[in-house]
Amino acid sequence: MKNILIINGHQKYDGFAEGKLTQHFIDNAEEFFQSNDMTVKHTHIDAGYEVSEEMKKFEWADYILFQYPVYWMSVPWITKKYIDEIFSAGVGTVTYNNDGRSRSDSSKKYGSGGIMTDKKYMLSLTYNCPESEFDNKDGFFDGLSLDEANYAVHKVFQFCGAEAVKTYAIHDIFKSDLDVISETNKFKNILESNFKDK
């Protein structure tokens, strides 16, 4: 049985970013995980958290689903605070031992000291920008792929030794023609690919 930690990284702004779309994907993910006999725990960052409890969840989890809106090309600031607090608190126990280097062994490289090597993670993102801005040399992200544009978050997990599975993102979320049903089906297909029979 797989243990799944779902982290809700949404930060609420009344009248602008209520978190309903983020919660929609979390609800669909939980339904998928439970229907496939996986055990789920949650963290809702904006609702508060205890560092010691997060350490237990991180140790328990086989997979982490990190669901958040992209604010100003990155995670919301409370979610960055969570990353700083939780990943740092896990040093020597849950997240990483050190930066990987050794004074006595120059073959040991920076970023190789993670202890989450038995864990995988999935980023699931909500974006206002259109999908066409990625993988497009003339686009806003200068030809970067979706994952390359979210490089910093991926590197946090990589530094701790965790392995990425396929990222999901919904785009153009403020457009009136947003097809949430189609996007939900796409999300579920990626969940199937990432988690079922692995």
Instruction: Give me the residue label for tokens 């990190």.
Output: 66
pLDDT at 198: 58
- Round to whole Å and give the CA distance between 88 and 51: 10
Report the alpha-carbon distance of residue 162 to residue 117 in Å, rounded.
5
Alpha helix (H) residue ranges in 107-160? 146-149, 151-159
DSSP character string of 84-116: HHHHHHTBTTTSBSSSS--SS-TTSPTT--BS-
What tokens were used for 171?
């785009």
- Cα(69)–Cα(165) distance, rounded to whole angstroms? 18
pLDDT (tens digit per residue) in 58-91:
999 999 999 999 999 999 999 999 999 999 999 9
Buried b or exposed e, range 25-55, using 16+ CB within 10 angstroms: bbeebbebbeeeebebeebbbbeebeeeebb
104-163 pLDDT, tens digit per residue, is 878 888 888 899 999 999 999 999 999 999 999 999 999 999 999 999 999 999 999 999
Query: What is the per-residue pLDDT across 2-28, written as a single tens digit (0 to 9) for each?
Result: 999 999 999 988 877 888 999 999 999
Structure confidence at residue 114 (pLDDT)? 93
Pick the residue with more confidence: 174 or 153?
153
> How many other CB atoms sit within 10 Å of the CB of residue 59?
15
Euclidean distance between CA atoms 188 and 18, whole angstroms: 23
